[in-house]
Amino acid sequence: MHLIQILLPVFGNDGEDLLREAYPGIRDELVGRFGGLTAFIQSPAEGLWKDNGNSTGRDDIVMLEVMTSSVEKPWWASYRKRRQELLRQEEIVIRALSMEKL
């Protein structure tokens, strides 16, 4: 079993709320494909990174999780690309963790 975590920015670089309109479609697609979703959206986390000029970038991010028996890497690569285009991001992090149901 695998836990897939999707980290999405709340706001664009211009301060625009990216998820208000996009979230329902993202949610519905994931629930339709995986049969469920956990969304940590009430308390955005802080994401920090260094760019090439050593400036620190910052995002408010939310995390979505789905569980799946197998990781279909081509599907996830396509999904990530579509989300990056939708949310106008250079990169969106999607990670898979092996897990065991208890």
Q: Where are the domains of the chain?
A: 2-98
User: What percent of the chain stands above pLDDT 90?
Assistant: 57
User: Using 50, 70 and 90 to split pLDDT, how confident is the model at 46?
Assistant: low
**pTM as predicted:** 0.82
pLDDT for position 37: 96
Rounded mean pLDDT, 31-41: 94
pLDDT for position 53: 73
Residue 4 in this model has a pLDDT that exceeds 70: yes
Q: Which of 52, 36, 28, 41 is nearest to 1 (CA)?
A: 36
pLDDT for position 58: 64
Check residues 80 and 12 and name the one with the higher pLDDT: 80
Is 6 exposed, middle or buried, given 0-12, 13-18 or 19+ CB atoms closer than 10 A? buried
Class of domain 2-98: alpha beta
Is 16 exposed, middle or buried, given 0-12, 13-18 or 19+ CB atoms closer than 10 A? exposed
| Contact (CB, 8 A) for 95 and 5 | yes
SS3 label, residue 68: strand
SS3 label, residue 89: coil
56-60, 84-88, 98-102: least confidently modelled range: 56-60
